[in-house]
């Protein structure tokens, strides 16, 4: 809204200049453009979660003044399950997740591990074991590709190997890398649909640290190999390490380079966007809408609109905050799915988001299991107000409700006898008017 007001003022100033009145006066004329309140303009005040059936008015007292009716925003969802896991396999059996991200040794596709001697002899045993485990659990994989090979880097002087560690830079011998990748896709393309090129690239990180231009080349070459050998496979761009100025700058340069590669102009040489969303245990879930919008806008601005956005590292990494992670998980998923994320991979093995701690199932384990059991298969989400979401699941409504502060009323459409499930899966039946919302989220359904 502020941007709209500024644009109108600029236009008005140009009109005044055209009449040789200038723009340097006391500003009374410009201010008159927004001197009326929403009520005086005959508008309706909407909440930030609502859409306007007409157009937005430039009111002096409200950012969301509509000359039509305010309606609750709805996000429609199609496709397979959005529920994933980032981390180990422990605890995944029976929780209900449908996807898992494999990244590091031995479960990621790591060239250095699979062809350690740089001699065309591949050892797939460890990787095969990880794929077999996923198959046994009924979990589909998204696998990250690490394109660095120590002997390859030494061969062209990018690395001495003296310290036993080489930076993750582009291959020296593209033919050998492409042979490795072609072989991998030929063996596993029928079992693994999603392949991600590297992780959290940056100028000075601890994963892929080559230039944005070089990453664009790696992505382009790898995309071609993957698609030539598996038409149904999809390529995920390297996950963004959050969203800030440095990340935006790095990815802007990647996208600019992709624009200049003829083979990438239409497709971008990727199918799916990934941004890693972390934060505190509670209180940051409302930022997910902003994160989604900023990331989508960045890629759209370079000519790659409409790409699905995932978060393959989702959940808090702040080990100093361990309380209420189960409650936070449900709030984060409700907010993230409403924002538009198509898949969210919870950090199942990292403190404090882990689902197993010292061999015991955590509250987060039970919260994730409860969430999946309640809303798996949903086709739309409506945000009624802050902390109130309505999922349409197989022809019935499932409400996710909480109240972070003060006193919150339940949606007026919820009446009669209801079935209430807390975030840990405990169930009870009660009259709707007896419900008291707290910061602990609950699932509410009409009693059968």
User: How far is 161 from 415, CA to CA, in rounded Å?
Assistant: 69
User: How far is 210 from 199, CA to CA, in rounded Å?
Assistant: 12
Model confidence band, residue 15 (pLDDT cutoffs 50, 70, 90): very low
**411-423 confidence digits (pLDDT tens):** 999 999 999 999 9
User: How far is 427 from 231, CA to CA, in rounded Å?
Assistant: 45
For residue 79, pLDDT beyond 80:
no
Question: Residue 352: what are its φ and ψ, rounded to 5°?
Answer: -100, 15
For residue 89, pLDDT beyond 50:
yes
Q: What's the sign of the alpha-carbon dihedral 100, 103, 107, 110?
A: positive
Q: Assess contact for 258 and 264: CB atoms under 8 A.
A: yes
The yes/no answer on whether domain 76-377 falls in CATH 3.30.2270.10 is no
| Nearest of 201, 198, 199, 205 to residue 177 by alpha carbon | 198
Question: Residue 16: what are its φ and ψ, rounded to 5°?
Answer: -65, -40
More confident residue, 282 or 36: 36
Model confidence band, residue 206 (pLDDT cutoffs 50, 70, 90): confident
Model confidence band, residue 182 (pLDDT cutoffs 50, 70, 90): very high
Planar angle of CA 405, 411, 413, nearest 5 degrees = 175
Locus of tokens 């093995």: 349
User: How far is 148 from 198, CA to CA, in rounded Å?
Assistant: 9
**92-116 confidence digits (pLDDT tens):** 998 999 999 999 889 999 999 999 9
CA 88 from chain center: how many Å?
A: 20
Q: How far is CA 366 from CA 40, 329, 394, in A?
A: 51, 10, 23
For residue 225, pLDDT beyond 80:
yes
Planar angle of CA 395, 396, 399, nearest 5 degrees = 140
Locus of tokens 């640290």: 209
Q: What's the sign of the alpha-carbon dihedral 32, 34, 38, 44?
A: positive
User: Mean pLDDT across the stretch 285-312?
Assistant: 94
More confident residue, 31 or 240: 240
For residue 8, pLDDT beyond 90:
no
Q: Which of 15-24, 82-91, 245-254, 352-361 has the lowest mean pLDDT?
A: 15-24
Q: What is the 3 state secondary structure string of the chain? A: CHHHHHHHHHHHHHHHHHCCCCCCCCCHHHHHHHCCCCCCCCCEECCCCEEECCCEECCCCCCCEECCCEEECEEECCCCCCEEEECCCCCCCCCCCCEEEECCCCCCEEHHHHCCCCCCCCCCHHHHHHHHHHHHHCCEEEEEEECCCHHHHHHCCCCCCCCCCCCECCCCCHHHHHHHHHHHHHHHCCCCCEEEECCCCCCCCCCECCCHHHHHHHHHHHHHHHHHHCCCCEEECCCECCCCHHHHHHHHHHHHHHHCCHHHCCCCCCCEEEECECCCCCCCHHHHHHHHHHHHHHHHHCCCCCCCEEEEEECCCCCCCCCCHHHHHHHHHHHHHHHCCCEEEEECCCCCCCCEECCEECHHHHHHHHHHHHHCCEEEEEEEECCEEEEEECCEEEEEECCCCCCCCCCCCCCCEEEEEECCCCEEEEEHHHCCCCCCCEEEEECC
User: How far is 393 from 318, CA to CA, in rounded Å?
Assistant: 33
For residue 232, pLDDT beyond 50:
yes
pTM for the complete prediction?
Answer: 0.85
More confident residue, 28 or 153: 153
Model confidence band, residue 53 (pLDDT cutoffs 50, 70, 90): low
Checking DSSP bridges between strand 70-72 and strand 50-52, what pairing results, if any?
A: antiparallel
Pull the structure tokens for residue 325.
């992670």
Instruction: Give every CB contact of residue 248 below 8 A, 6+ residues apart in sequence.
Output: 294, 298
Question: Residue 191: what are its φ and ψ, rounded to 5°?
Answer: -110, -20
User: Mean pLDDT across the stretch 317-332?
Assistant: 83
Q: Assess contact for 432 and 416: CB atoms under 8 A.
A: yes
Model confidence band, residue 28 (pLDDT cutoffs 50, 70, 90): very low
Q: Which of 47-61, 173-187, 230-244, 383-397 has the lowest mean pLDDT?
A: 47-61
Model confidence band, residue 379 (pLDDT cutoffs 50, 70, 90): very high
Cα of first residue to Cα of last residue in the chain, in angstroms, is: 45
User: How far is 344 from 276, CA to CA, in rounded Å?
Assistant: 9
């Amino acid at each position: 809204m502020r941007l709209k007001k500024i644009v109108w003022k600029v236009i008005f100033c140009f009109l005044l200049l055209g009449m040789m009145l200038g723009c340097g006066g006391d500003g009374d004329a410009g201010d008159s453009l927004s001197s009326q309140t929403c009520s005086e303009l005959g508008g309706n005040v909407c909440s930030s979660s609502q859409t306007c059936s007409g157009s937005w008015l430039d009111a002096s007292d409200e950012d969301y003044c509509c000359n039509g009716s305010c309606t609750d925003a709805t996000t429609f969802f199609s496709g397979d399950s959005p529920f994933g896991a980032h981390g180990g396999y422990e605890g995944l059996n029976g929780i209900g997740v449908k996807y898992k991200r494999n990244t590091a040794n031995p479960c990621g596709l790591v060239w250095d591990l699979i062809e350690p001697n740089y001699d065309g002899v591949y050892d797939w045993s460890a990787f095969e074991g990880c794929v077999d485990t996923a198959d046994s659990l009924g979990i589909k994989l998204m696998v990250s590709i690490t394109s660095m090979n120590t002997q390859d880097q030494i061969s062209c002087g990018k690395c001495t190997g003296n310290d036993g560690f080489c930076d993750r830079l582009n291959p020296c011998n593209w033919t050998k890398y492409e042979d490795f990748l072609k072989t991998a896709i030929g063996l596993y393309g029928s079992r693994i649909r999603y392949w991600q090129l590297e992780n959290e690239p940056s100028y000075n990180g601890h994963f892929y640290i080559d230039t944005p231009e070089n990453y664009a080349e790696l992505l382009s070459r790898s995309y071609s190999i993957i698609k030539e050998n598996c038409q149904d496979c999809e390529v995920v761009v390297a996950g963004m390490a959050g969203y800030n100025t440095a990340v935006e700058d790095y990815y802007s340069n990647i996208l600019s380079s992709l624009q200049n590669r003829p083979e990438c102009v239409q497709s971008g040489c990727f199918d799916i966007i990934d941004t890693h969303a972390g934060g505190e245990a509670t209180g940051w879930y409302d930022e997910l809408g902003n994160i989604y919008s900023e990331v989508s806008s960045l890629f759209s601005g370079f000519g790659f609109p409409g790409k699905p956005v995932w978060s393959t590292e989702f959940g808090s990494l702040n080990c100093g905050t361990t309380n209420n992670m189960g409650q936070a998980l449900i709030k984060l998923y409700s907010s993230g799915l409403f924002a538009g994320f198509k898949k969210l991979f919870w950090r199942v093995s990292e403190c404090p988001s882990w689902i197993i701690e010292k061999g015991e199932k955590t509250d987060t384990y039970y919260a994730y299991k409860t969430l999946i059991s309640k809303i798996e298969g949903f086709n739309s989400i409506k945000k009624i107000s802050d902390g109130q979401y309505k999922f349409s699941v197989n022809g019935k409504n499932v409400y996710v409700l909480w109240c972070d502060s003060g006193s919150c009323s339940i949606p007026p459409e919820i009446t009669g006898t209801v079935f209430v499930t807390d975030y840990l899966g405990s169930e009870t039946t009660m009259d709707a008017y007896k419900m008291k919302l707290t910061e602990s989220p609950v699932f509410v359904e009409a009693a059968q």
